């Protein structure tokens, strides 16, 4: 782990630079797969599942029986844990429901907006050695609260064509409508364009490898929305002498074990703490199953010593971390100054993994600096707002002339006429 | 204008199909300009301004003096109109400010989220014969309410290198920080990557021609957010016998005059109304300055007769119009059923042009069917949310075991350790 002491402001950007992602180079492959799926539908899905996942499957949809059967294949302990997490996620996201509020902007001019569900949404859950069922909860629960009519989920099968039962159980728990055993670019294509079996959706959510990321980016050009652009996961910890090196180390490692490209940064104004954390990281690393992955991530990680708290805050805002952990004595001094971050974890007893799984907040967050312009997934990600307005005769009598002047200045006659004709009618009546 | 009577449901998609846009074909040109602007900065901007706008300019920034001078070049009548519109826009968008609400998802687990401004935003205003100052209000005012620190605006100059004074006056009125006389792909490139003079921004807003649209789409792959994908403007009117054919015709023409590719649709269950509107459209069209443009748009427009109101609603939801006008007797029967639309205008005295200019709602709306998944621009478009959470010792004692079980099942040891270490410490203390 690289220790950087008192970096000069001119070097900050370089110190905080992230690896470039090469989503663009994959555009050609992505478009090839898109064309095949558009032309051959399910047949193309079976072909790519054989090619990329090494699984020979007959049908892409997971049967209701298979989903039902998952219940008996998951331990009661895990089912209980999922229920607790789901309840918290439901409680937090439900609090984001809003009611339309009518605003009378001027006399007789009433405006309001209403959030309505996105009718059809698609969730993507990556494959791999471990079943990422937590993401099923994080995406499926707000989709249900929003009231999305059709919630479908794609996830790649293992070599036997099966989906991990915990994934299926989580789908059942949150009420996903249909599950498809497909992954990669072909899954994104199927949800974007539809096939005989897979319905097309209006918005696609969820993490994935670089192929999935590139495919999601590409569908935005074809009328399908996505949750947000993706990048490697990352954490930035700000800590002072009040923090526990053991805890800080465990948080840094939580992030490092995600992938070799994970970004891990500690900023402190206490040199002893930095030393202690570095020692603890080495110690804890040894016992991790994923220690090789974590080691690679740590090789790019940075422990930054700064002169004072304000500098740490400025560095953090410049970076815009996905996860930000504040392990400091006077957190209130920092909280108001945080401008760019996905999710903030406060105090010694709030590990990032709480938010990853069970506290209730969403774990689908902007990374790669996108926290400067994107929000994490929330209930609103599954809805869109519609604006409404209703103007009375009196309202138009007052506001009409303003519209006429502006429309005329923009040389849009018909826009002006639409008001003038109405004003004439109102005058004729009175 | 094409009249379609009682279309069968299987034909709905075809009837409502929109022209394809060819944003992708421009990717090569866009990337060429991007490279030049990245490499040569301002020099490239001057070159492209000469090439594409036919203007030889020395500097890309509009001076403060020029902005100040605009005030005396705009009529008092127009200034007054802008003030009224600005006040309504401010009132409506201010109502969208929210305060963080703390949710205790379970004992000792507190979660909340806070909306913070996007620090740096860029607004794009197209050039052309008419100055689109209304869009300056629609984007600049919410940017200011949100608290964006740096609000810059790009708009192409005329052949003399000048910007229309009404645009500059609007910039001054809403408090845009810096104005640049550049347009097209080069303007989007400048705001995305920055040059010696133009600061780079985190999010780019505003309408534009197909080049601007393609450039905006492309920057999303390079870490810059955009308001939404763009497409030709469109209106769908639902009307019954209670509507006034003259008014409906003027609303259809308001849309048609925007551009030859504008989409204009009327749906009614009253055949007489459809006939009357068609006659009125022809009559009003004759006197429009932009009648050639409007005629082209009308050639693609559709007057659809359906059997009953419910069908009209279903067609409208399938289409997801940018603007939806409800000119019907029993609007309440329809309002709850509207699922997909950008902005809805209710009743005989609410022309679309009210929302375009002055009622207070935003006129930057999802078109091209994006209303199925995107919201229009609002205050939230200039902000992003940050999630916060704080867990007490008691909270972690309760929730910790749940996290441990889930992290273990996802094979993420370090995630589990981050909790276990803390639970051990809590146990040791008690």
A361-411 pLDDT tens trace: 999 999 999 999 999 999 999 999 999 999 999 999 999 999 999 999 999
- Write down the catalytic residue from A280, A322, A352, A363: A322
Using the Cβ of B283 and the Cβ atoms of chain A, whether some distance falls under 8 Å is answered with no
Q: How many CB atoms lie within 10 A of CB A424?
A: 11
Whole-number pLDDT of residue B25 = 73
Record: fold of A392-429? 1.20.5
CATH code for the structural domain at B23-108+118-226? 3.40.50.1980
pLDDT at A22 over 70: no
What Å distances lie between residue A63 and A59, A71, A125, B151, CA to CA?
9, 14, 18, 53
Choose the mutation target among B221, B354, B383, B399 for the interface with A, i.e. most A CBs under 10 Å. B354
Which of A258, A358, A387 is the closest to B402 by Cβ? Answer: A358
DSSP code per residue over B46-68: HHHHHHHH----S-SBPPHHHHH
> Contact at 8 Å (CB) between B95 and A101?
yes
Whole-number pLDDT of residue A21 = 63
Q: How many CB atoms lie within 10 A of CB A302?
A: 18
Residues with Cβ < 8 Å from A108, sequence gap 6 or more? A391, A392, A393, A394, A395, A396, A397, A398, A399
Give the H/E segment covering residue B305: strand B302-305
Half-sphere exposure in the Cβ direction for B46 (13 Å, CA): 12
Q: Hey, where are the domains in chain B?
A: 2-20+231-360, 23-108+118-226, 392-429
Give the pLDDT mean for A199-226.
94
pLDDT per residue as tens digits for the range B95-143: 999 999 999 999 999 999 999 999 999 999 998 778 999 999 999 999 9
pLDDT per residue as tens digits for the range B193-241: 999 999 999 999 999 988 999 999 999 988 899 999 988 899 999 999 9
Size of interface A-B (CB pairs under 8 A): 416
pLDDT per residue as tens digits for the range A316-354: 999 999 999 999 998 988 999 999 999 999 999 999 999
pLDDT-derived band at B68 (thresholds 50, 70, 90) equals: very high
> How many Å apart are CA A83 and CA A102, to the nearest integer?
38
> How many Å apart are CA A196 and CA A38, to the nearest integer?
10
Whole-number pLDDT of residue B21 = 63
Domain over B2-20+231-360 is classified CATH 3.40.190.80: no
3-state secondary structure of B109: strand
Do domains A2-20+231-360 and A23-104+118-226 share one topology? The answer is yes
Q: How far is CA B131 from the centre of its chain?
A: 18
Which of B203, B369, B402 is the closest to A84 by Cβ? Answer: B402
- Write down the catalytic residue from B280, B311, B323, B363: B323
Q: How many CB atoms lie within 10 A of CB A33?
A: 23
> How many Å apart are CA B138 and CA B70, to the nearest integer?
19
Helices B184-193 and B42-53, axial angle in degrees (round to 10)? 160
Query: What number of residues does chain A have?
Result: 430
In A173-313, the DSSP E strands lie at 178-180, 203-205, 225-226, 234-239, 263-268, 302-305
DSSP lists the bridge partners of residue A116 as A384
Task: Name the A residues in 339-368 with CB < 8 Å from any B CB.
Answer: 339-362, 365-366, 368
DSSP code of A61?
B
Residue A331 CB burial class (10 angstroms; 0-12, 13-18, ≥19): middle
Across the beta sheet with A343-346, the strand order is: A2-5, A302-305, A263-268, A234-239, A323-327, A343-346, B383-391, B109-117, B103-106
Block residue for tokens 């209980």: A80
Please answer yes or no on whether A109 and B359 come within 8 Å at the CB atom: yes
Give the pLDDT mean for A29-52.
96
Whole-number pLDDT of residue B90 = 98
Half-sphere exposure in the Cβ direction for B380 (13 Å, CA): 19
Please answer yes or no on whether B410 and A132 come within 8 Å at the CB atom: yes
State yes or no: A356 annotated in a binding site.
yes
Using the Cβ of A237 and the Cβ atoms of chain B, whether some distance falls under 8 Å is answered with no
Question: Chain B: nearest CA to A281, how far in angstroms?
Answer: 11
Active site residue B322: yes
Question: Chain A: nearest CA to B169, how far in angstroms?
Answer: 13
Residue in B196, B193, B164, B197 with CA at minimum distance from that of residue B180 = B197
- Write down the catalytic residue from B257, B280, B311, B322: B322
DSSP lists the bridge partners of residue A182 as none
Name the residue of chain B whose CA is nearest to A24's CA.
B221
Give the H/E segment covering residue B144: helix B133-146
Phi-psi domain of B147 (left: phi exceeds 0; alpha: psi -120 through 50; beta: other): left
Which of A81, A88, A399 is the closest to B359 by Cβ? Answer: A399
Active site residue A101: no
Domain over A23-104+118-226 is classified CATH 3.40.50.1980: yes
State yes or no: A415 annotated in a binding site.
yes
Planar angle of CA A112, A115, A116, nearest 5 degrees: 130
Residues with Cβ < 8 Å from A65, sequence gap 6 or more? none
> Contact at 8 Å (CB) between A219 and A202?
no
Residue A298 CB burial class (10 angstroms; 0-12, 13-18, ≥19): buried
Using the Cβ of A52 and the Cβ atoms of chain B, whether some distance falls under 8 Å is answered with no
* ipTM score: 0.96
Please answer yes or no on whether A339 and B116 come within 8 Å at the CB atom: yes
Give the pLDDT mean for A227-252.
94
> Contact at 8 Å (CB) between A179 and A163?
yes
> How many Å apart are CA A203 and CA A201, to the nearest integer?
6
Give the H/E segment covering residue B211: helix B210-219
Give the pLDDT mean for B181-192.
98
> Contact at 8 Å (CB) between B291 and B315?
no
Planar angle of CA A232, A236, B422, nearest 5 degrees: 110
Name the residue of chain A whose CA is nearest to B246's CA.
A421
Q: Where are the alpha helices (DSSP H) in A62-153?
A: 64-69, 76-94, 133-146
Give the H/E segment covering residue B79: helix B76-94
Whole-number pLDDT of residue B22 = 64
3-state secondary structure of B103: strand
Helices (H) and strands (E) in chain B, counts: 17, 14
**Chain B residues within an 8 Å CB radius of A401:** 81
pLDDT-derived band at A23 (thresholds 50, 70, 90) equals: low
């Amino acid at each position: 782990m690289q220790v950087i002491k008192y970096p000069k402001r001119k070097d900050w950007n370089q110190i905080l630079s992230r690896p470039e992602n090469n989503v663009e180079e994959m555009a050609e492959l992505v478009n090839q797969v898109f064309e095949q799926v558009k032309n051959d539908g399910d047949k193309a899905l079976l072909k790519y599942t054989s090619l990329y996942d090494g699984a020979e499957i007959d049908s892409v949809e997971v049967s209701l029986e298979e989903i039902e059967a998952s219940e008996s294949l998951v331990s009661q302990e895990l089912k209980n844990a999922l229920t607790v997490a789901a309840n918290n996620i439901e409680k937090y996201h439900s609090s984001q429901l809003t009611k339309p509020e009518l605003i009378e902007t001027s006399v007789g001019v009433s405006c309001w907006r209403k959030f309505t569900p996105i009718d059809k949404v698609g969730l993507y859950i990556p494959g791999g050695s471990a079943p990422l069922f937590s993401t099923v909860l994080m995406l499926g629960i707000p989709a249900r609260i929003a009231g999305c009519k059709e919630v479908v989920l794609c996830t790649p099968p293992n070599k036997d064509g099966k989906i991990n039962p915990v994934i299926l159980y989580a789908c059942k728990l949150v009420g996903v409508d249909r599950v498809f055993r497909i992954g990669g670019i072909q899954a994104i294509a199927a949800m974007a364009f539809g096939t005989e079996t897979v319905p097309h959706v209006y918005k696609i959510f969820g993490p994935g490898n670089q192929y999935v990321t590139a495919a999601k980016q590409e569908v935005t050009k074809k009328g399908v929305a996505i949750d947000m652009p993706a990048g490697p996961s990352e954490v930035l910890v700000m800590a002072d002498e009040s923090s526990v090196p053991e805890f800080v180390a465990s948080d840094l490692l939580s992030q490092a074990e995600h992938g070799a490209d994970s970004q891990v940064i500690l900023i402190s104004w206490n040199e002893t703490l930095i030393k202690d954390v570095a020692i603890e990281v080495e110690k804890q690393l040894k016992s991790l199953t994923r220690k090789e992955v974590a080691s690679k991530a740590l090789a790019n990680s940075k422990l930054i010593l700064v002169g004072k708290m304000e500098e740490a805050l400025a560095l953090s805002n410049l970076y815009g971390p996905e996860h930000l952990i504040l392990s400091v004595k006077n957190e209130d001094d920092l909280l108001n100054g945080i401008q760019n971050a996905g999710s903030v974890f406060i105090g010694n007893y709030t590990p990032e993994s709480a938010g990853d799984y069970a506290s209730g907040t969403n774990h689908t967050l902007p990374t790669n600096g996108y926290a400067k312009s994107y929000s994490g997934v929330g209930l609103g990600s599954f809805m869109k707002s519609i604006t409404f307005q209703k103007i009375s005769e009196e309202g138009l009598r007052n506001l009409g002339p303003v519209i006429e002047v502006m429309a005329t200045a923009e040389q849009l006659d018909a826009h002006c006429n639409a008001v003038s004709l109405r004003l004439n009618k109102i005058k004729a009546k009175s």
